[in-house]
Structure 1
Amino acid sequence: MDMIKSLFISASGLKAQNGRMRVIAENIANADSTAKEPGGEPYRRKIPTFQSHFDRELGAEVVELGRISEDRSAFEERYMPGHPAANAQGYVLEPNVNTLIETTDMREAQRSYEANLNVIESTRRMLQRTIDILRG
């Protein structure tokens, strides 16, 4: 039964990291998304969080994607007087997305995803060997 638990725990990790990667991908896709009207706010970076809870049926702690909050850091201003979103002074607010940070976060999420996938694969092999021993 403990092997089955490890499968479910790793699967919850896969699902959580998948959600994290979707949020990061959205941030990267909107890294240049400015406001549609002058003086409006551009895209605001989203920050995924995780939460764990005890799964009574499984009898173990599992993780899931928690609340997705907005990064409240300040927007950068760039002087672009011809831009449709430029204010009266000619400045455009740019999203608070740093693609280097997002790329690093994506790399970390991918590694965590792969680690959970490796646990599932190892567990699957152990279960298969157990079945083979019992058969033979």
Structure 2
Amino acid sequence: MDYRTAFAISAAGMQVEQTRFNISALNLANANSTMGADGRVYRAQRVITSAGSGNIGGFNQVYTAWKNANAGLAGPHVEDVVEQNLAPRRVLDPGHPAADEKGFVELPGVNPATEMVTLMNSLRAYEANVVAMNAAKSMTLKALEIGGK
């Protein structure tokens, strides 16, 4: 396996985890928003990923070179970011400007605990990809040292 393959796979994993982290942070930031720019309650989003089958993190020439020989070694990629179909939370707050006639305000159905777990998981996965990339770098440098003697 070419050392650049390991870099490409780790880079693809880091890109996926960064997207997952950003979407989860967006959900947390909007957890108490009453309505978005479109006039409706914010809907939590989720990242849909899949095993790679195509361009890995912009390393197209690397991917093409090893695609057939290493068919199972494709990095992940983001398929889509979709809105979740969660019911909004209803909170009693009669003084709020967005309250209905009964004094209830509709807030997004974002669960802060779930979003925090998602943030921690994506951070750990990102760190694991950085460690894998650094290991590949170390092996490459060691191979160059050995080859240079």
CA offsets, 1:89-108, max 9 Å, x none? 11100111111110111000
Shift of 1:83: 0.9
Report the number of matched residues: 133
The one-letter code sitting in structure 2 at the alignment partner of 1:14 is M
Q: Under a length normalisation based on structure 2, what TM-score does the superposition of the two structures give?
A: 0.82
Query: For residues 110 and 5 of structure 1, what CA distance do their matches in structure 2 show?
Result: 22
Shift of 1:35: 2.3
Over 3 Å off, 4+ runs? none
Query: For residues 50 and 34 of structure 1, what CA distance do their matches in structure 2 show?
Result: 29
The one-letter code sitting in structure 1 at the alignment partner of 2:52 is H
- Matched position secondary structure for 2:53: strand
Q: 2:49: which partner in 1?
A: 50
The one-letter code sitting in structure 2 at the alignment partner of 1:69 is V
Q: 2:60: which partner in 1?
A: none
Summarize the alignment of residues 1-136 of structure 1 with structure 2, pairs less than 5 Å apart: 1-35=1-35, 41-55=40-54, 57=64, 58-59=66-67, 60-136=73-149
Q: Is the 8 A contact 1:16 1:63 kept in 2?
A: yes
Shift of 1:41: 3.4
The one-letter code sitting in structure 2 at the alignment partner of 1:15 is Q
Q: Is the 8 A contact 1:44 1:70 kept in 2?
A: yes
Shift of 1:28: 1.0
Query: For residues 67 and 132 of structure 1, what CA distance do their matches in structure 2 show?
Result: 43
Q: Under a length normalisation based on structure 1, what TM-score does the superposition of the two structures give?
A: 0.90
What's the % identity of the aligned pairs? 29
CA offsets, 1:20-46, max 9 Å, x none? 11101101111111127xxx6321111
Higher mean Cα deviation, 49-58 or 84-93? 49-58
RMSD: 1.6
Query: For residues 78 and 19 of structure 2, what CA distance do their matches in structure 1 show?
Result: 6
Q: Is the 8 A contact 1:16 1:65 kept in 2?
A: yes
CA offsets, 1:71-120, max 9 Å, x none? 11111111111211111211100111111110111000011101111110
- Structure 2, unpaired ranges of 5+: 55-62, 68-72
Q: Is the 8 A contact 1:52 1:61 kept in 2?
A: yes
Structure with higher strand content: 1
